[in-house]
Chain A
Amino acid sequence: MYFDPNEYLLNPFISFLNWVVVVGALTFVVLFVSMLNLLTTKGMSGIGIFFDELGGMAADLFQLSPRRIWALTRLTYTEAIRRKALAVFVVFGLLFMFAGWFMGDSKEIKPDQVKVYISFVLTAISWLTLPVVLLLCCFGIPEDIRLRSIHTVVTKPARRVEIVLGRMIGIWLIGCLVLTVMAIVGHFWIVRQIPADSQPLLTCRVPVYGTEMEFLDREGNSARSGVNVGDIWIFRSYIEGATKARARWRFIKVDESVLDSDGNLNFENSFSAFRSYKGDMTRPLFYDIKLYNPEKNLAYTTDPQPVNEFRHKLDKIPRKVTVDDVQYDILKDFVTANKDLLIEVSCIDREQYIGMARSDLFIRMPDRPFWMGYWKAILGISLTLLLITMIGVSASTMVKGPIAAVLTFVIYFLSLKDNHQFMDQLVFGQVQGGGFLESVYRLVMHLGPSAELPANPAFAVIQFFDWLLNNFLWLCRHVIPYSQYFNMPEFVANGFDVPLDTSIIPSLLVTSAFIIPCVVMGYFALRIRELESK
């Protein structure tokens, strides 16, 4: 099983700085584009208009009326219902009626298969609600402008900011309504699909991960990683048995709260086994866990434990342990003065290997009920809806519906994990074969990505344009949100609770970062564009 929640770990200070940078950059981009638009349409007088509008917007912000926003919200909501937005329930119903056919035999359910059920429900809900919201938010205002029904609003004492906010809130609310109904049905569907004896598999584990992990090689020297056993996937690193090879974790801020109700310290692992020879296949490979405190020169090692590959293995260590006939308290004697707990894992079997990654060993706190994680995942989806609504509504104030829909979809598509990572690779020059034009050149000339290119002026021009495009991409990379933070369903599907620090707070920050630029953009577009044009 693969899941590394630490991948998304954020430093609070850096996160805040990033948030400030993103908000600032987005607002700047919006204002810059607005001013450019005014300059091209109105000439030099556009500068004056721009600053007048900026002042007007500031005045609007101080005179916002919740009553008017709510009225516009209700208007949007009613409009969406009339446009048959709720027809999506038909597709949802069909999907869930026949989903069981594609999910395999639920009588034979294995722990890992629960993940498939949860993933299916949460993915289906996401992919059904996102298009509804996308279409509603992108076609609402352009349609109002086309039918000129927007005049019935703008001629009222409603401010432009209120129109934009009312739209956003209205569409988000209808998205949330659809989402909530689907989530309730989805929850019952999951519970019903999982047989009664497998119900305990529906849980939310609460892990405490080690902040640092290091390896020791077979000589006992510090190493960046363990042994590579030839696996394509280099997520795990392996330690050799019956040598000085070790994997070490440091858990910080360890106190009473990590113990369970019986006072045990629970370590859960998902180590992997690799045999350099098969040997006795009926005998599993063994590891042991050592707790050590260098300050007191004290160490406690557990009995050898069998590796339970591709499953979770729980090792309970009692609070009171005996070392050389002397009883010690784990928290008092093994936790260092800095409240750190140091753990060392070794493989017992000679010439055999055990593989592990940082997230393969964690302290397991008392579990939380499944519904808690499930609804947090729904929160993640609702935040994605809000983000799309904001982008879609503000885009629809500037361009026509279909264009706004394509633009919003492309931004969302680029925000997905793999796409964002590819963008990162392009920006940081990690993709072989150069930038856009260079790649085209290589394709046309049948040159491999590692082939040397001729040093001539034409190629210098290509590289210059690629440099420009790359810088534009750098800007896009900072403006396009990283939707992986919103991917809370992945935690729940893997049986974990959705953590506050690595998922909920980052997604809230990203969403809030878009509020100001999107509202500003919507306001400017409605102020400066010709509402008479169809």
Chain B
Amino acid sequence: MTNMTSQQRKLVYLIGIVVLLIPIIWLSLPSDGKDAPGGVLSQLRSQYELGEADLGDVDASSAAMNFALLGMRGMAVNVLWKDLDQQKDTKRWAEMQATTESIVRLQPHFEKVWDFNGWNLAYNTSAEWDAVPDRYYWVKQGAKFLKRGVERNKRSTELYYRTGKVIQHKVGYADESADYRKFFVSDPDPVFKNGPDPVVNPEAKDNFLVGREWFEAACVRELARPQHILDRSLFRSTPARCLFDYAQALQKEGKFGEETRAAWDHARKDWTESYGRETFHALIGPEESDIMLEMTAEEIKQQAGTPDDELRVRKAVDAYQKMTNYRYWRTRALAEAEPEMSEAHRFVFDAKQAYKAQEFDNARTAAFKGMEGFDKILKRDEYSSLTDEDILCEECLLGWKIWDDIYQVSGDKIPEEFPLKWLLQMKSDNSQIMGNVNKQFKRLFLDNK
């Protein structure tokens, strides 16, 4: 080589470059439709759906940034994560959000990044703020962020679920849920002119119904790509559970008319006819077999080949029903369709309102009627299992607590016998239920709800 002239050396370099380019071009030849599938890399990309467009919407800025950083992406991401953590600790929210944006541009297809940051915005950041509209803003930011994550990762089952979870759980079950649910259809930001934020709620629906749509989409994707969040039977129950949440929320807000009964009926049908008829793989003896949560005796017999297996299938169905609380919700939905049940809810609601307004006689009368209504329903054989679940028991006992408290305050003698006395005796040792009842009772002293 040393004897070569400069020109010769350059020629050798050029030949070397051309020789090396040939395999590179062959490997990375772009696809030109079905007739020309392209090079090996292109074919593998199509086979495993790893192309940017296959994964979700293409973000030009993200792709440009990753390209410009060459191999330094990992380092840049590490620095950004460190900054994010520091900004969160020092409550620099705008900077934290900007850093989050940078991170997702560098890691657009790392689902956990979207998941973690969406959760961080909706749950952690929102809790740092004091004013409820501010809290809601950050909950919304979390939901919007996750929604963008879904758009960038359309095959992701878990991101659909997470988006639904924020809308269903954070908006619907936070301590501030009464306000959040109102804000969900009528945003406090004047920009939206009393309407919803169209990014999270374009059709101005109830949060539980929007959450249900996300869960439904997650269930559709789950058929193609498994999730690792919940047991499959629980995961697939989420759309139907949203309908129960919706019906309960209507009651909580004092709506006891046809709308609420229809909501319960819709929830029951969805629970038993749609979710209940889904097939799950259960271990029956040494082998897996398909079962459904809503199976008739005949279907069980057909599914099991032998009497032994029939017993095993029955046990498996029972186990799954227990895990998903299936029977409770089925019974509850049936009970809620009863006019007596609806009336009992209304009386307890009226008792709470009257108690808040310090109309104690009205409160005592309404609470007693509510207790009577619940007493009748719960004593019926077909609904007796409802006492196994805490939420309904807490509502019943809250009615009793109001009734009892008014007696205590007024100094009147408390009657020896009263409706739901048996339920009180049954649950008085349950510190969780009694604690929740006391907590809810104390909240009545606050005049805002």
Residue B93 at the chain A interface, CB threshold 8 Å: yes
The one of A101, A104, A119, A282 that contacts B97, using a Cβ cutoff of 8 Å = A104
- Contact of B131 with A284 in the complex, beta carbons under 8 Å: yes
* A282-B94 contact given A98-B64, A102-B105, CB 8 Å threshold: no
- Contact of A282 with B129 in the complex, beta carbons under 8 Å: no
Residue B296 at the chain A interface, CB threshold 8 Å: no
- Contact of A282 with B179 in the complex, beta carbons under 8 Å: yes
Indicate with 1 or 0, residue by residue over B182-209, a CB within 8 angstroms of chain A CB atoms. Answer: 0000000001000000000000000000
Residue B101 at the chain A interface, CB threshold 8 Å: yes
Size of the B side of the interface (Cβ < 8 Å), in residues, is: 28
Query: Which residues of chain B come closer than 8 Å to A116, judged between CB atoms?
Result: 94-95, 98
Residue B448 at the chain A interface, CB threshold 8 Å: yes
Complex: A281 Cα to B93 Cα, angstroms: 21
Query: Which residues of chain A come closer than 8 Å to B94, judged between CB atoms?
Result: 110, 112-113, 115-116
Interface residues of B in 134-190 (CB under 8 A from A): 134, 175-176, 179
Residue A279 at the chain B interface, CB threshold 8 Å: yes
Question: Which of chain B's residues has its CB closest to A99's CB?
Answer: B61
Interface residues of A in 91-114 (CB under 8 A from B): 98, 101-104, 108, 110, 112-113
Question: Which of chain A's residues has its CB closest to B102's CB?
Answer: A102
Residue B306 at the chain A interface, CB threshold 8 Å: no
- Contact of B448 with A233 in the complex, beta carbons under 8 Å: no
Residue B431 at the chain A interface, CB threshold 8 Å: no
* A280-B93 contact given A98-B61, A98-B64, A275-B130, CB 8 Å threshold: no
Residue B6 at the chain A interface, CB threshold 8 Å: no
Most A-side CB within 10 Å, residue of B65, B129, B175, B446: B446
Question: Which of chain A's residues has its CB closest to B105's CB?
Answer: A102
State how many angstroms separate the Cβ of B360 from the closest Cβ of chain A. 22
- Contact of B95 with A115 in the complex, beta carbons under 8 Å: yes
Complex: A115 Cα to B94 Cα, angstroms: 8
Residue A235 at the chain B interface, CB threshold 8 Å: yes
Complex: A112 Cα to B134 Cα, angstroms: 13
Residue B90 at the chain A interface, CB threshold 8 Å: yes
Residue A309 at the chain B interface, CB threshold 8 Å: yes
State how many angstroms separate the Cβ of B238 from the closest Cβ of chain A. 27
- Contact of B130 with A101 in the complex, beta carbons under 8 Å: no
The one of A103, A232, A272, A278 that contacts B98, using a Cβ cutoff of 8 Å = A103
Query: Which residues of chain B come closer than 8 Å to A1, judged between CB atoms?
Result: 91-92
Complex: A291 Cα to B130 Cα, angstroms: 27
Question: Which of chain B's residues has its CB closest to A3's CB?
Answer: B92
Complex: A309 Cα to B134 Cα, angstroms: 9
- Contact of B131 with A232 in the complex, beta carbons under 8 Å: no
Most A-side CB within 10 Å, residue of B102, B130, B179, B448: B130
How many contacts between A and B, using CB within 8 angstroms? 69
State how many angstroms separate the Cβ of B179 from the closest Cβ of chain A. 7
Residue B32 at the chain A interface, CB threshold 8 Å: no
- Contact of A104 with B101 in the complex, beta carbons under 8 Å: yes
Residue B132 at the chain A interface, CB threshold 8 Å: yes
The one of A104, A232, A233, A284 that contacts B130, using a Cβ cutoff of 8 Å = A284
Interface residues of A in 328-385 (CB under 8 A from B): none
Complex: A102 Cα to B91 Cα, angstroms: 21
- Contact of B61 with A101 in the complex, beta carbons under 8 Å: yes
Query: Which residues of chain B come closer than 8 Å to A282, judged between CB atoms?
Result: 132, 179, 448
Question: Which of chain B's residues has its CB closest to A2's CB?
Answer: B90
- Contact of B98 with A309 in the complex, beta carbons under 8 Å: no
Residue A28 at the chain B interface, CB threshold 8 Å: no
- Contact of B64 with A279 in the complex, beta carbons under 8 Å: no
Query: Which residues of chain A come closer than 8 Å to B102, judged between CB atoms?
Result: 102
Residue A459 at the chain B interface, CB threshold 8 Å: no
The one of B60, B97, B175 that contacts A281, using a Cβ cutoff of 8 Å = B175
- Contact of A309 with B101 in the complex, beta carbons under 8 Å: no
Query: Which residues of chain A come closer than 8 Å to B191, judged between CB atoms?
Result: 108
Residue B89 at the chain A interface, CB threshold 8 Å: yes
Query: Which residues of chain B come closer than 8 Å to A134, judged between CB atoms?
Result: none
Query: Which residues of chain A come closer than 8 Å to B90, judged between CB atoms?
Result: 2, 233, 235
The one of B60, B65, B92, B179 that contacts A2, using a Cβ cutoff of 8 Å = B92
Residue A30 at the chain B interface, CB threshold 8 Å: no
Indicate with 1 or 0, residue by residue over A37-78, a CB within 8 angstroms of chain B CB atoms. Answer: 000000000000000000000000000000000000000000
Interface residues of A in 271-307 (CB under 8 A from B): 272-273, 275, 278-285, 307
State how many angstroms separate the Cβ of A25 from the closest Cβ of chain B. 33
Complex: A113 Cα to B96 Cα, angstroms: 10
Residue A8 at the chain B interface, CB threshold 8 Å: no
Complex: A285 Cα to B179 Cα, angstroms: 18
Complex: A423 Cα to B89 Cα, angstroms: 23
Question: Which of chain B's residues has its CB closest to A104's CB?
Answer: B101
Residue A310 at the chain B interface, CB threshold 8 Å: yes
Query: Which residues of chain A come closer than 8 Å to B101, judged between CB atoms?
Result: 102-104
Query: Which residues of chain B come closer than 8 Å to A108, judged between CB atoms?
Result: 191
- Contact of A280 with B98 in the complex, beta carbons under 8 Å: no
- Contact of A310 with B179 in the complex, beta carbons under 8 Å: no
Query: Which residues of chain A come closer than 8 Å to B132, judged between CB atoms?
Result: 281-282
The 9 closest A-B CB pairs, nearest first, are A112-B94, A101-B61, A273-B130, A309-B130, A116-B98, A2-B90, A113-B94, A280-B448, A232-B89
Chain A residues in the interface with B (C-beta under 8 A): 1-2, 98, 101-104, 108, 110, 112-113, 115-116, 119, 232-233, 235, 272-273, 275, 278-285, 307, 309-310
List 30 interface pairs A-B (beta carbons < 8 Å), by A numbering.
Answer: A1-B91, A2-B92, A98-B61, A98-B64, A102-B98, A103-B98, A103-B101, A104-B97, A104-B98, A108-B191, A110-B94, A112-B92, A112-B94, A112-B95, A119-B95, A233-B91, A235-B90, A280-B446, A280-B447, A280-B448, A281-B132, A281-B175, A281-B176, A281-B179, A283-B448, A284-B130, A284-B131, A307-B130, A309-B130, A310-B129
Given contacts A275-B130, A283-B448, 20 further A-B contacts (CB under 8 A): A2-B90, A101-B60, A102-B61, A102-B101, A102-B105, A108-B191, A113-B98, A115-B94, A116-B95, A232-B89, A235-B90, A273-B130, A281-B132, A281-B179, A282-B448, A284-B130, A285-B130, A309-B129, A310-B91, A310-B93
